[in-house]
A = this chain, B = another copy of it.
Amino acid sequence: MEIRELRYFAAVAEELHFGKAAQRLEMAQPPLSRAIARLERQLGVTLLERTSRSVTLTEAGAVLLSEARSILSAVAAAERRTRQAAQSRPRLVLAVKSGTAGGLLAKLLDAYRAEPGAATVDLLLCEAHQQQELLHNGQADVALLHLPFDSTAGLDSEILYTEGQVAILPASHHLAGRSQVRVAEVSALPELPMARWPDHDGSYPAGPGPEVKNLTQLFQLIALGQATVIIPESAGTDLRRDLAAVPVLDAPPVTTVIAWPPQSRLRAAADLIRVATRL
């Protein structure tokens, strides 16, 4: 099994159309058909059921597609990381979501810069659901994730710290003066529906609240008395004057972890991780 064959198979399995897949791969259709047939022969497995009108994945094909994606991603990562390691000036890409506790991040970067032989750290601002992919395909070396929202599937990680969550309310709201509230109290406010974040696939979950993309948007809406939200404490510091943050007693605690691909051998990444866990 060669990488080229996996790339071919992935294209066909995703397009479910040999012609389209060949176009995507910038090659003619016959050699593609042959390559897939050969792959099937070598594996001794039928990957695709074809009629002259349609192509469908077999169960084995679905398994191989999932494995192929992960392998292709790993190969891209290997190329990127190898090239990176050959640079004289080591660089380290740290993937963070916009909204990651600014204080922690600044402290981490400062502490790391003080290390002997510290690499240049490039911050890669991204959406939450991209982080794992970036780590897996080598576009990032390290990421800060928030459990339980993000998953550390296939990654190594170390816990940095755990914090509670707060409800963000208009300063004038009657709950805003409370020293603490419960999830049920906040979600039971019909005049302030819970804002909705995009899901992993970019779509929004159903609900009455407004759809938001970032904290600025969100705070604007809350200040206008259009919504509320429950977010980690650290994201609710330094609020605008017209907003109030109230600790939510029974919201699940949020854990910030530093995560990296398990086979990572970058000295710079190891250093950053060591510094992070000692903060």
Contacts and interface: CB of A to CB of B under 8 A. Distances in A.
* Tally of this chain's copies: 2
Contacts of A77: 67
Interface of A: 1-4, 6, 43-47, 58-60, 62-64, 66-71, 74-75, 77-79, 81-86, 151, 153-156, 261-266
B79 A75 contact: no
Contact of A86 (B45, B75, B264): B45
Given A45-B86, A71-B78, A74-B71, A63 B265 contact: yes
A37 B252 CA distance: 54
Contacts of A63: 81-82, 84-85, 265-266
B263 A154 contact: yes
A156 B153 contact: yes
Contacts of A3: 1-3
Given A70-B74, A154-B262, A263-B154, A43 B82 contact: yes
A154 B43 CA distance: 26
Point out which of A63, A151, A262, A265 has the most chain B C-beta atoms below 10 A from its C-beta: A63
Complex A-B, nearest 9 residue pairs according to Cβ-Cβ distance, in ascending order: A67-B78, A154-B262, A60-B86, A153-B262, A63-B85, A45-B86, A60-B85, A70-B263, A64-B82
Nearest to A156: B153
B45 A78 contact: no
A61 to B, nearest CB: 8
Point out which of A46, A67, A69, A79 has the most chain B C-beta atoms below 10 A from its C-beta: A67
Given A67-B74, A68-B78, 5 more contacts: A2-B4, A43-B83, A45-B82, A71-B71, A154-B155
